[in-house]
Every structure is written in structure tokens, then in C-alpha cells.
Amino acid sequence: MLELRPTCENCDKALPPDSQEAMICTYECTFCKNCVDSILANVCPNCGGGFEKRPVRPKGQLTKHPPKAEKLYKPVDLIKFQELKETNININPKDR
């Protein structure tokens, strides 16, 4: 079951369960589309993988399986991230 984290880990933008801007990696690291495209270049700063659009949970399931309440806010250290980004930016996520 996806956690549906409530905000972007980098910029803290709200990403409610029906957000069309939520992007996740295979470990459910959650970032907004703007951060994924403009800062991360589709490279997860935590695992080096790529991102996919997070599915929207049907409204009728939110009571039974609510989104995660606690935020995970840890802005990306761009200096530390630079090497991981450069290593992976030109490799298709399925080949990383």
C-alpha cells in the first residue's frame, strides 16, 4: 500500500492524495513534478532511481487507507547531490 506522503521532500509543497503533481521513486520518495523536472533531473537524491507519477487513491478508499500524516521534509543538498545526478542523468532509470 502506497504511503501517499503529504508533501514534497524538497520544497514542502502540499501533495494531497489527488495531486496530479506528485512523483515517486521505487522507494516512495515523494517530490513535486517541478522539483523532479527542474532540480533533480529525474534522479532521486536518495536512491539514484527515476520517478513516476504517483497514482491517485480513489476517494472512497481514503477512509479505509488514509494518506500518511507526517511530513518528510529534507531539502536536497545540491552540492552532495551533484555527483549522483551527474552519474545518472544520462542513463535511463531502468538501466541505472
* Sequence-ordered list of residues with C-beta below 8 angstroms from that of 65, at least 6 positions apart, any chain: 1, 57
91 in a domain, yes or no?
no
Q: Which domain holds residue 20?
A: 1-66
Is residue 83, in this structure, part of any structural domain at all?
Answer: no
SS3 per residue for 44-78? CCCCCCCCEECCCCCHHHCCCCCCCCCCCCCCCCH
pTM: 0.93
**What are 66-89's pLDDT values in tens digits?**
999 999 999 999 999 999 999 999
Q: What is the CATH number of the domain that holds 49?
A: 3.30.40
Residue with cell 513535486: 32
Count up the domains in the chain and report the number.
1
What does the pLDDT read at residue 38?
97
